[in-house]
Structure 1
Amino acid sequence: MGTTDIAATDAAQQDTELKNKHRRMWGLGDYPRVARELVSPLGEVLVDALHISEGEGERVLDVAAGTGSAAVRAARLGATVVASDLTRELIDAGRAENPDVDLTWDVADAEALPYADDEFDVVMSCIGVMFAPHHQQAADEMVRTCRPGGRIGIVSWTPEGAIGQLFATMKQYVPPPPPGASPPPLWGNEDHVRDLLEDRVRDVRFRRLTLPVTHFEDGAQFRDYFAAHYGPTIAAYAAHADDPARTEELSRDLAALGDSQGTGSGADFAMQWEYLLVTAEVR
């Protein structure tokens, strides 16, 4: 085996290990609960922005769908929908939570989608594709699978918003990403998304919006919720399971972040989680 072949084999093995790590991380905790209790309204926002309407019968692909808040909304409107995600546990949860909805649930990698070129009228992702480590590959796959004249829609947390800042806070507590992997909240930056999509799309529209969250009474409750249910936060704590002092620093920083992102107190405590909504038409 030549040097080039060895390098290619090593790269493939590293990519497999990275994807397995992502699968395990999103299988931690209870992300389906996070989806139900906090972020499910974003699915409706995305589907409505893409003008997926009753009676149209469009073919829709939801990439990195999680438990499928966007996919389910589109299917209920009559679209022929495929919900795909890297993590089987999330796909299984979405199927179990929506037994009456007619859609296809697939385990699939956003960076290597098992679908034909131009197969779908709409390709979308709701706070999902942003977590694929290689942003350009994931963007290329979204464009590839959408027909010319079809629509792409993406919702991502912004770097400046509450969840973007959650990742910025946790960054100092987790190992650095491998070479070539990009931070998820970059998908919430307009210039970054323009660079990913390039001139393959037209009529690109960016909207910064906020998701109102009134689930917590203070920053400590925000921290405790994510530490119990959100895979990336659970992984950050696990990285310091044998270091009580470092764990305490993480807990203190996450509570302070929650307080800084909210207004009011007690039952009146409210947060506004900023996200970027992107829609475009494929050329």
Structure 2
Amino acid sequence: MAGNAPDIQTIKERMRKTWMAGDFGEIAKFIQHHADDFISDLNIKPGIRLLDVACGTGNLAIPAARAGASVTGIDIADNLIEQARTRARTEGLDIHFEVDDAESLAQPDAAFDVVVSMYGAMFAPRPERAAAEMVRVCRPGGTIAMANWMPETFIGDMFKLIGRHAPPPEGVPSPALWGDPATVRQRLSEGISELNTKPVTVIFQYPFSVPEVVEFHRIFFGPIERAWARLADDERESLRRDLEAHWNHNNEATDGSTRVKAQYLLVVATRTAS
């Protein structure tokens, strides 16, 4: 990176702190149904070896283990891994969770039948490396499946809104590029024999008002919590107003609650058989 751009280790440490900020476990509760549907559609068979990359608190790993898969989950944030372990213990599920980096996985080559990531690996600062690692650890003929927020949709626009108030590190591509089919095909061009993509609509449903939703995310969603901490008081209120306007514009509820549609790109790739 040129000029005064931070080095990759500095970027990664910032990223780790971002996802450890707030409490993503609270956010995850409201999108668990996204993960349940994602795993159900993959038709997971008992005994398959599955890796959940950037697993967070286990939203994909938990239903995959319930379906009988042998599951490993990795994430860069220690506190999220601890929450995932607690969830697995509570359900009596034998899932191996560990702190690891999506760009340099500690897993051996071809170790998994299925590699998944939902709203996770898309945030790796060097997407080509994350893509190569997912391919490497997937067995020949195995499946790589991702759910990536799309640009020019509700979440993609929210990323841009936050970035206008608190710009991301120089040189890091937008995570929402993982939601662009052409970009995905470029990043997953090596070692892949088949790749299919399609947009999927999901619902954010909160039993409280838009201002309360924005405050909920300010407290618990790491990227907003960290952006908020960087801003002066007047800048914080500007960010709050813009976030409330964004949620209000997309809110379909009329009863004081909040219901917003968002779109992710479903990516399903097959590793080339050898």
C-alpha separation between the residues in 2 aligned to 1:29 and 1:172? 21
Q: Deviations over 1:257-276 (max 9, x none)?
A: 11112123334642112111
Match of 1:262 in 2: 251
Equivalent residue for 1:65, pick from 48, 55, 77: 55
**Unaligned 5+ residue runs, structure 2?**
none
Q: Deviations over 1:211-253 (max 9, x none)?
A: 112205443222111111100001111111xx22211111110
Match of 1:28 in 2: 21
Aligned residues, how many?
A: 268
**C-alpha distance 269-176 of structure 1, shift in aligned 2 (>3 A):** closer
User: SS of the counterpart of 1:275?
Assistant: strand
Q: Tell whether the 8 Å contact from 1:61 to 1:124 is kept in structure 2 after alignment.
A: yes
1:110-125 correspondence to structure 2 within 5 Å:
110-125=102-117
C-alpha separation between the residues in 2 aligned to 1:259 and 1:245? 21
User: SS of the counterpart of 1:93?
Assistant: helix
Match of 2:84 in 1: 94
2:84 is the alignment partner of 1:84: no
Match of 1:4 in 2: none
Instruction: Choose 265-274 or 129-138, whichever is displaced more.
Output: 265-274
Q: Tell whether the 8 Å contact from 1:50 to 1:279 is kept in structure 2 after alignment.
A: no
Could you tell me how far 1:124 is from its partner in structure 2? 0.7
2:126 is the alignment partner of 1:126: no
Instruction: Choose 158-167 or 189-198, whichever is displaced more.
Output: 158-167
2:128 is the alignment partner of 1:163: no
Segments of 4+ moved more than 6 angstroms? none
C-alpha separation between the residues in 1 aligned to 2:114 and 2:124? 19
Q: Tell whether the 8 Å contact from 2:210 to 2:258 is kept in structure 1 after alignment.
A: no
Equivalent residue for 2:198, pick from 207, 229, 238: 207
User: SS of the counterpart of 1:232?
Assistant: helix
Could you tell me how far 1:60 is from its partner in structure 2? 0.7
C-alpha separation between the residues in 2 aligned to 1:213 and 1:128? 18
Q: Tell whether the 8 Å contact from 1:217 to 1:265 is kept in structure 2 after alignment.
A: no
Q: TM-score, normalised by structure 2?
A: 0.92
User: SS of the counterpart of 2:7?
Assistant: helix
Equivalent residue for 1:17, pick from 10, 26, 35: 10
2:238 is the alignment partner of 1:245: no
Could you tell me how far 1:23 is from its partner in structure 2? 1.1
Percent sequence identity over matched residues?
Answer: 34
**C-alpha distance 211-197 of structure 1, shift in aligned 2 (>3 A):** same
Match of 2:215 in 1: 224
Q: Tell whether the 8 Å contact from 1:25 to 1:231 is kept in structure 2 after alignment.
A: yes
Give the root-mean-square deviation of aligned CA atoms: 1.9
**Unaligned 5+ residue runs, structure 1?**
1-6
Could you tell me how far 1:174 is from its partner in structure 2? 1.5
Could you tell me how far 1:106 is from its partner in structure 2? 0.9
Q: Deviations over 1:81-126 (max 9, x none)?
A: 1100010100001111220111100100000000111111111101
Q: Deviations over 1:130-187 (max 9, x none)?
A: 11111111011000110110000001111122222111100111134232x2111111
Q: Tell whether the 8 Å contact from 2:18 to 2:223 is kept in structure 1 after alignment.
A: yes
